[in-house]
Structures are given as C-alpha cells and as structure tokens.
Structure 1
Amino acid sequence: MTSPATSPATVRFGTRRSALARAQSGRVAADFAAATGHDVELVEITTEGDVSQAALAQIGGTGVFVGALREALLDGRVDVAVHSLKDLPTAPAEGVALAAVPPREDPRDVLVARDGLTLGELPVGARVGTGSPRRVAQIQALGLGLDLVGVRGNVDTRIAKVASGELDAVVLARAGLARLDRVADATEVLDPIQVLPAPGQGALAVESRAGDPLETELREALDDPRSRAAVTCERAVLATLEAGCSAPVGALAEVVEGDDGDELWVRAVALSPDGALDVRRSASGSVTAAEEVGRTLAGEMLADGAADLMHQTTAASVTTTTTTGQQQ
C-alpha cells in the first residue's frame, strides 16, 4: 500500500460502537485535534467481539475486538484505529504501527456490589460476575467462597445485573468507569496485591498505517513515554508466556523515581484456571529496556512452571452468560 505524502484534511478515527469505545476514541480524537489543528471524525466499525454472543475464549479471545478495525485501517476506510490496549494481540500486525500510547488511566480492577459492599464483605455464595479468567482465578485464590459467574456486556448492562439483583456484584476495569464518568459506581478498588490487572489494562492503543505521515504526528501529539514503557513491559511478559489476553495472567508495571532517575518496576502472576496454584514474580530495571525486563521476568516464571499452570485442563467454575459489548 502506498502511503499518502501528506496527512488528510480530516483525520478519520476508527472506533467500536459501544459507548465506552466511542468515549475513549472521541477523547483521543479531540486531543489530537487540539494539538495539531486537524479536523477529525469518528467512524464506527463493528468487530467480531461485538457481533458474537459466545464467550471470548470460544471465539478466540485475543484480537476479537481488533481485527475489523485494523482491516478498516489498512483498506483506507479510516486513518487511525483506537483500541483498548489490553485487547491487542502481542504479535505485530503487518502494515500497522502502534503510533501512540496516550497517558494511561488507573489500571486497577474495581468491584461494583449491592449495598456498597466490598469483596471481603460479600457473603459466601454471593454471585459475582466477570468474563475474565484472570479475575476468576485471582478471586478464587482469595478463598472467599464466592460464586464466579461468567458475564459479557457493556458497562451499563453488567452494572444493571447488580441493580436488578441477578448478581451481587461485578468486577470491572476502573478505567472504563472513569472514561464514562461512572467511578462513583465502584464500591471498592481492588488492591493489585490481591488482583493484578490485565497487561495493558487502562491504556489505549492508537494505530496508524506503518509509514503513514500520521504515525509521526500521532506520536508527537498523543504518546506518553512512561505509559508506553509500562505497557511494553507488561505485554512482553504476556508474549513470553505465550498467553492470550483471556489467559489467567496479570501484570502491572510502573515507572517510579529512583536514585538515578526513572526506574521500571513490574509484578506478574500466572495462575491455574481455578486459582489453586500460581507463580508470582517481580522485577525492576531500566525504562529504556522495558521489553527486556518483561521478557526476563516471564522467563523466570516459565522456569518456575508458569506454562504448566496456564495449560491445565481443569475448568474454572464459571457459568457462561452471553451478552455482547465492550469488555472492561
């Protein structure tokens, strides 16, 4: 594909159709317009993950929210694609560049529960909804006796299941609530010591066609080096473990101020599906070596048996409920 010599007069930002996707894509587009003076528009694209009502693991997990947006990018229907970064496959896509990682929202998970309850206050047998094997495994590992129920759907749909009494609580990404101005709905922010977030959670991925002049413009206008370093490290953990975005793997990297400047700190966990066994590791290193830090940490986890845990055939005790929508 031949890239245009100059950026288009109006830059078309591809987005999924959900309220959350449109909110986060709209913010990215507005920030880009403010920084560059370009006119922008949102173009809604339907992805496989939006259409299928099957559980994510059944339709492939990794990339089900990404492929249609990338196709629209490569065939010229849009100039930019905006994704939740945790949805991206770790393998590079031919012809596509990760042009920018904007400043990351708080990556932690939250609980939205009836009666303002916290996770520890929920009674034994309480029904807690989540479509994430990572969340299921880590919450089961806490030994609270909760009934983890598989659920998909947009933020409103899932919170409504709590309000109606169908569920006692749901677990969501705090970032999704923040982007919808609904953080007040959370009854508890889960400590990463108990529940590590998904690699890349809370971050957005802004993609362009590789070699397009927009790639440089997007990076200069939107990219946050600290956020990029953190998610690069986390995704290196995921890639080295050869785990998809639906695998029971959590990772969180942070750039902190050290004695000699910025340092990268990362924690990661790989679990058996039922949470009974896990391998946990942490590491630190140079911000400029983010990928190497993540790969080294994951290599140590593999040596400790992480792959065996994730590949166990023991099924997590999750009843599948199917409703489509943004996964956060």
Structure 2
Amino acid sequence: MSAIRIGTRGSALALAQTQAVANRIAAAAGTEVELVVITTHGDTSTEPLSGLGGTGVFASALREALLNGDCDAVVHSFKDLPTARYPGLVVGATPRRADARDVLCARDGLTLETLPEGASVGTGSPRRVAQLLKARPDLTVVDIRGNVDTRLARVTAGDLDAVVLAAAGLSRLGLLSAVEGEYLELSDWPTAAGQGSLAIEVREGRLDRPLGTALAAINHATSQATTTAERLVLERLEAGCAAPIGAMAAIDDGLLFLTATVYSPDGARSIVSSHAATPDSHSVTHLVEAAQDVSERVARDLIQGGAADFAPMKVTS
C-alpha cells in the first residue's frame, strides 16, 4: 500500500501540528504517512500580512500542490484558511480543537493591566491591534512578522515589552511551560474564527479508503460545529483577516452559543452580537445545521448594528 502524503508549510509550528495529524492518520489508516513540505508566499515575504492580502496567503501554495497531485491532503491552521469554497477541494476533517485563547507574553511577568504606559506590544493581527488599543489606548502596538521563537526573542532581547500569541501554537511547540504569559479569556478577548483548530483539506471525491476512513476517525464533531459557526460569520460579512473580528462558539448544556465582535481598527468602537441555537442532536449534520442558523442571526445583528461603517469589510444581506 502506498504512503499517504500530507502537505505542510515548513515552519516549526506547521511541521509540529502536521506531524501530530500525520501520526493519527497513520494509526487510523494502518499505513505509512509522509510529509511533503511546501513553501508559500507568506513564508518568504516580509510584508505585513494585511498588505499581502491576509487570509489565504499561507494556503494557496498548499492548495495548488494538492490539486496538482503532489500530496493527498494538506493541513491548515483553520484561522488562516479563507471561508470561500475552493473549487475541487473540501475539508475532510476537523480534529479536536486546542485552546482557542491568546496569550500575552511579556517581560518580567507583566500583564496587560500592569504593562507600563506606552509599552510596546508586538502583533501582526489587526484584531489583536484593535483589542490591545481598546483595552489600553496608551500602548504602542508594533507590527511584527516571523515565527513564534523570533517573536518571543524580541521580548527577551528587550526590543518589545510583550507579544500576543496563540495558546494553541505555543502548546504545539511545547513552549507553554517555558513561557510566562497571561491567558486572555475568550469572554473578554474573543480570538480569530477557528483559532486553535486545524483543517485537513483533500481533493473533492477522493475520500476513499484508507484516507477517508482515517479522516472520519479523527474528525471531532463539536470542534467542526464551533469552527463552522465562527467562520460562517466571516463568510456572511465577507470579511477576511484584514477585518478585526473576534468570534467564539461553544456547546454547553445542549445549546450552541456564538458571540462575535467587530472592532474599529483603532479599538475605539465595537459591536457585539450573541445568539444560541438548539441542535436536534449531537450528530455532525444537526450540529452544522445549528451552526448555520446561529451564525446567520449573529451576522445579521452585526450588519444591522453598522459594523461595515467602521471595519474594513463588505457585507451582504
């Protein structure tokens, strides 16, 4: 039996999360799995992510390699994957979601509240910029690029007072225990749609055995539903990562809850909408139906509340 080839970016984080997925696919499929490293434009460019086009800058080369048959599946960080459907490809599985929170990694054990006035905080995310300025308008927010180690090194070197990173990425790199950071709770600091989740994308119609069997085994229905709800808000607002939007979905006591917040780029204004839906059951089909329902109502509230007046996005009714 030939090996299953899994495409990935070459960064330390991408390799770590793809290797974890590959190990699970190998165990479920009972066959060898190989990693195929693919260089994307986002990996080689030094431009700010917003200037590169934001969402999709890391995904396009992986998708082209998949369509060309260079690999059998690719692993994406779901928050980096555009919401629009890509012809010929489908998401074959969403593994169990990791911690969706952001972490403030600051010098000397400082917190968001105790950072000195005018402290420099690094991030490449428009959402995090808006949230930082909303919480602390006095901060100096610095646009940064680079991998996790590079960003943390700027704090260690004293170039920055803090950086904001995803807890999931720190965990997948084994850095959580080594990094003294403040977890920013989702109730006050909603993160990017799909943050903490991975998407395994495959060619449409190619979910036959053994790959299809393995993907069915590692798909996590709850993670699929919450990620779907968050991403559908972005889709309905026609917003990518250039729009400062935070979204948080969770299933609790039989209800699917979704809250989304749209920020002005300077953090001075924001609009919040929260709704809940009751799935008919916890089957994947019913959970996704509930996600579609609740996201439609949340997006409608945000549009009617005037989100498009101060955030860079297009909206559709």
| TM-score higher than 0.5 | yes
Instruction: State the match for 2:89 in structure 1.
Output: 96
Residue identity opposite 2:249 in structure 1: A
Distance in 2, matches of 1:9 and 1:264, equals: 41
Residue identity opposite 1:248 in structure 2: P
Residue deviations 1:196-219, cap 9 Å, x none? 100000000001111001563243
Describe how 1:77-226 pairs up with structure 2 within 5 A: 77-143=70-136, 145-184=138-177, 185-212=179-206, 213=208, 216-226=212-222
Is contact 1:142-1:194 (8 Å) kept?
Answer: no
Farther-moved stretch of structure 1 (291-300 vs 119-128): 291-300
Q: Which has the higher contact order (CA 8 A, sep 6+)?
A: 1
Match of 2:39 among 33, 36, 46: 46
1:26: Cα distance to partner?
0.2
* Residues 1:231 and 2:227 are matched in the alignment: yes
Residue deviations 1:102-128, cap 9 Å, x none? 000000000110001111110011100
Match of 1:29 among 18, 22, 29: 22
Is contact 2:242-2:312 (8 Å) kept?
Answer: no
Residue identity opposite 1:105 in structure 2: A
Residue identity opposite 1:189 in structure 2: Y
* Residues 1:69 and 2:62 are matched in the alignment: yes
Instruction: State the match for 1:298 in structure 2.
Output: 299
Match of 1:59 among 38, 43, 52: 52
Where do 5+ consecutive residues of structure 2 fail to align? Answer: 280-286
Distance in 2, matches of 1:125 and 1:207, equals: 43
Farther-moved stretch of structure 1 (230-239 vs 216-225): 216-225
Distance in 1, matches of 2:35 and 2:241, equals: 26
Instruction: State the match for 2:239 in structure 1.
Output: 243
Equivalent position SS for 2:273: strand
Distance in 1, matches of 2:68 and 2:170, equals: 32
Residue identity opposite 2:142 in structure 1: V
Distance in 2, matches of 1:221 and 1:9, equals: 20
Equivalent position SS for 2:265: coil
Distance in 1, matches of 2:312 and 2:15, equals: 35
Distance in 2, matches of 1:300 and 1:153, equals: 36
Distance in 2, matches of 1:163 and 1:301, equals: 40
Equivalent position SS for 1:264: strand
1:144: Cα distance to partner?
5.0
Report the TM-score when normalising by structure 2: 0.92
Residue identity opposite 1:306 in structure 2: A
Residue deviations 1:265-321, cap 9 Å, x none? 111100110011110111111342212211221111100001112139xxxxxxxxx
Where do 5+ consecutive residues of structure 1 fail to align? Answer: 1-7, 313-328
Runs of 4+ in 1 over 4 A off after TM superposition: none
Equivalent position SS for 2:310: helix
Distance in 1, matches of 2:194 and 2:292, equals: 13
CA RMSD of aligned residues (A): 1.3
Is contact 1:120-1:144 (8 Å) kept?
Answer: no
Equivalent position SS for 2:27: helix
Distance in 1, matches of 2:71 and 2:263, equals: 39
Report the TM-score when normalising by structure 1: 0.89
Is contact 2:74-2:201 (8 Å) kept?
Answer: yes
Is contact 1:128-1:169 (8 Å) kept?
Answer: yes
Is contact 1:125-1:147 (8 Å) kept?
Answer: yes
Q: Percent identity?
A: 50
1:193: Cα distance to partner?
2.9
Distance in 1, matches of 2:259 and 2:297, equals: 12
Distance in 1, matches of 2:40 and 2:125, equals: 19
Is contact 1:138-1:194 (8 Å) kept?
Answer: no
Residue identity opposite 1:231 in structure 2: T
1:263: Cα distance to partner?
1.6
Number of matched pairs: 301
Report the CA distance shift for 1:237/1:226 in structure 2 as closer, same or farther (over 3 A).
same
